Amino acid sequence: MFSCSPNSEHAPAADVSEIDKKVDSLLALMSVDEKIGQMTQLTLDMVCYGEPYALSEPHTIDTAKLDVVINQLHVGSILNCGGHSYPREKWLDMIGDIQRKASKTRLGIPILYGIDAIHGVTYTDSSTLFPQQIALAATWDTALVRQLAEMSAYEVRASGIRWNFSPVLDIARDPRWPRFWETFGEDVKLASDFGEAMVQGYQGDAIGDAHVAACLKHFMGYSVTLSGKDRTQAWIAERQLREYFLPTFERAMDAGAMSIMINSGEINGIPVHVNKNILTDLLRNELGFEGVAVTDWEDIKYLVTRHRVAATYKDAIEMSLAAGIDMSMVPVDLEFPVLLKQLVLEGRVTEERLDLSVRRILKMKYKLGLFETGVPTIADYPKFGSEEHHALALKAAHESIVLLKNDNLLPLSEGAKILVIGDGANSLNILNGGWTRTWQGADPQYNTPDRATVYEALQQHSDNVQWITEQEFLSMRMTQKYDCIVAVISESTYTEKPGDIEDLSIPLQSARVIDKLDYLQLPSLVLLIEGRPRVLPASIEKINSVMLAMLPGDFGGEAIADIVFGKFNPCGKLPFTYPRHASSHTTYDHKYTDRIDTDFSQNAFDPLYTFGSGLAYTTFAYSGLQIERNELGMDDTLRVDVEVSNTGNRAGAEVVQLYVSDSVATITPSVKRLRGYRRIEMAEGSQQQVRFDIPVRELAFVGQDLKWVLEPGKFSVQIDTLVIPFTVR
- Active-site residues, by number, are 296
| Distance between CA atoms of residues 495 and 302, nearest Å | 19
The burial class, CB within 10 Å (0-12 / 13-18 / 19+), for 420 is buried
Nearest C-alpha neighbor of 681 from the set 656, 701, 659, 718 = 656
- The answer to whether the CB of 617 falls within 8 A of the CB of 410 is yes
| Distance between CA atoms of residues 149 and 128, nearest Å | 11
- The answer to whether the CB of 227 falls within 8 A of the CB of 258 is no
Backbone angles phi, psi at 311, to 5 degrees: -80, -30
- The answer to whether the CB of 539 falls within 8 A of the CB of 404 is no
**DSSP assignment string, 318-342:** HHHHHHT--BEE--S-SHHHHHHHH
Q: How far is CA 558 from CA 120, 122, 565, 617, in A?
A: 18, 20, 11, 18
CA dihedral 426, 427, 431, 437 (to 10 degrees): 160
Q: How far is CA 510 from CA 423, 471, 526, 719, in A?
A: 11, 9, 10, 37
Nearest C-alpha neighbor of 165 from the set 218, 211, 109 = 218
- The answer to whether the CB of 676 falls within 8 A of the CB of 717 is no
| Distance between CA atoms of residues 503 and 176, nearest Å | 8
**Region of 298 on the Ramachandran plot (φ > 0 left; ψ -120 to 50 alpha; else beta):** left
| Distance between CA atoms of residues 514 and 535, nearest Å | 12
What's the half-sphere exposure (Cβ side, CA atoms, 13 Å) at 314?
11
Nearest C-alpha neighbor of 545 from the set 483, 605, 493, 587 = 483
Could you tell me how many residues make up the chain? 729
| Distance between CA atoms of residues 526 and 543, nearest Å | 7
Percent of the chain that is helix, strand, coil (3-state, to 5):
35, 20, 45
What's the half-sphere exposure (Cβ side, CA atoms, 13 Å) at 376?
19
End-to-end CA distance of the chain: 29
| Distance between CA atoms of residues 518 and 498, nearest Å | 33
Quickly count: other Cβ atoms within 10 Å of residue 116's Cβ: 21
At 22 the three-state DSSP class reads helix
Contacts of 663 by beta carbon, 8 Å cutoff, 6+ apart? 669, 713, 714, 715, 716
| Distance between CA atoms of residues 422 and 470, nearest Å | 5
What's the half-sphere exposure (Cβ side, CA atoms, 13 Å) at 619?
4
| Distance between CA atoms of residues 178 and 175, nearest Å | 8
Nearest C-alpha neighbor of 685 from the set 653, 644, 642, 645 = 645
